Amino acid sequence: MLDVYSYGVLHDLAVYVSVATAVALFGYRMLRQMRPEVSWNHEGSVLSRPYGAPDLLVLAGIGLVFILSMQPQKAEGAAAAAAVSDSTLIVGMIFNLIVCAGLLLYLFQLRGLNPAELFGLQQVHWRSIMFTVGVFSLIILLTINLASAATQTWLQGFWPDLEPQETVKAFQESDGIGFKLLVVLMAVVIAPLAEETMFRGFVYGVLKRYTDAPFAALASSLMFAIIHLHVGSLLPLWMLAVLFCLAYEITGCLLAPMILHAIFNGVSILAMMFVDK
């Protein structure tokens, strides 16, 4: 659950992103009607042409449900709401897997699309992928850590009581091996699989189809940052997601951002275990 101030920031930002995306969709449509020869949405390695209006409606529906489901934390239930337990993590992992499976079934059964083809998984060029992952891992570990440190320093100036993410705080305070293993499973396996399928595979692909790659990367990455529900992580996560989009566009294969996501989360966990102590 969110404290009142975080709720206000994130809810308003989610609304602004939704409105900006709607305006952009209209603007790009008008541009293409005036200049039918433009095809920015089909440039690059990520396949976006198969997506259609139904996918855009599904994306809008998901965004609306998320905005309506955001609720501020009530003072009397703050301690209970903030508690992260084994069962909370398990429920979260199951939910992520259900959403991921539901999206894949929707694409395959209802839309008649091949997720493996859409996400560049039919012909995997491992040498290109691993080279891209190696280069981007270095870029991410340098830039995102600097951005995170700068953001925290800036926010502490006027928001000194801003808490870290609930799962991060629970991991740092817990002595239970089982709980820590669940966090590792969630962060290194489930989150990269589910979140990359949703945000890079679907959201980025649909937005690219109706706008272009740069706008789709910026907008989908901001959506990705918002759903983590932590103001202090907004800028670093937004930058991280943009780099994931770039790696996806370079390789044309969703495995690249999935592996990068797993590496980043794994390194973050190691830092919490050893560096932050």
For residue 153, what pLDDT band results from cuts at 50, 70 and 90? Answer: confident
**Predicted pLDDT at 135:** 98
Give, as one character, the DSSP assignment of residue 45: S
| Residue 94 predicted with pLDDT over 70 | yes
H helices then E strands: how many in the chain?
Answer: 13, 0
Are 256 and 120 in contact by the 8 Å Cβ rule? The answer is no
Q: For the chain, how are helix, strand and coil distributed in percent, rounded to 5?
A: 80, 0, 20
Reading the block at residue 237, the tokens are 């996560």
The closest of 276, 204, 223 to 66, measured between CA atoms, is 223
For residue 73, what pLDDT band results from cuts at 50, 70 and 90? Answer: low
CA–CA dist 252, 275 (Å, integer): 35
**Predicted pLDDT at 74:** 64
Query: Which amino acid is it at 250?
Result: I
**Predicted pLDDT at 80:** 46
Give, as one character, the DSSP assignment of residue 74: P
pLDDT over 90 for what percent of the chain? 70
Which tens digit of pLDDT belongs to each residue from 184-213?
999 999 999 999 999 999 999 999 999 999
168: left (phi over 0), alpha (psi -120 to 50) or beta: alpha
In this predicted structure, which of 148-157, 160-169, 241-250 has the lowest mean pLDDT?
160-169
Give the distance from CA 104 to its chain's centroid: 17
**Predicted pLDDT at 244:** 98
CA–CA dist 13, 231 (Å, integer): 10
165: left (phi over 0), alpha (psi -120 to 50) or beta: beta
**Predicted pLDDT at 100:** 96
CA–CA dist 21, 148 (Å, integer): 26
**Predicted pLDDT at 156:** 83
The closest of 187, 191, 194, 205 to 245, measured between CA atoms, is 205
Are 245 and 200 in contact by the 8 Å Cβ rule? The answer is yes
| Residue 265 predicted with pLDDT over 70 | yes
**Predicted pLDDT at 276:** 55
Tell me the pLDDT of the chain averaged across its residues.
90
Mean pLDDT of 132-141: 96
Which residue's structure tokens are 């801003």? Answer: 162
Are 1 and 71 in contact by the 8 Å Cβ rule? The answer is yes
pTM, full prediction:
0.92
- Which is more confidently placed, 25 or 123? 25
- Which is more confidently placed, 39 or 230? 230
For residue 163, what pLDDT band results from cuts at 50, 70 and 90? Answer: confident
Which tens digit of pLDDT belongs to each residue from 15-68?
999 999 999 999 999 988 888 777 777 788 999 999 999 999 999 999 999 998
**Predicted pLDDT at 200:** 98
Cα R_g (the chain), whole angstroms: 19
**Predicted pLDDT at 277:** 54
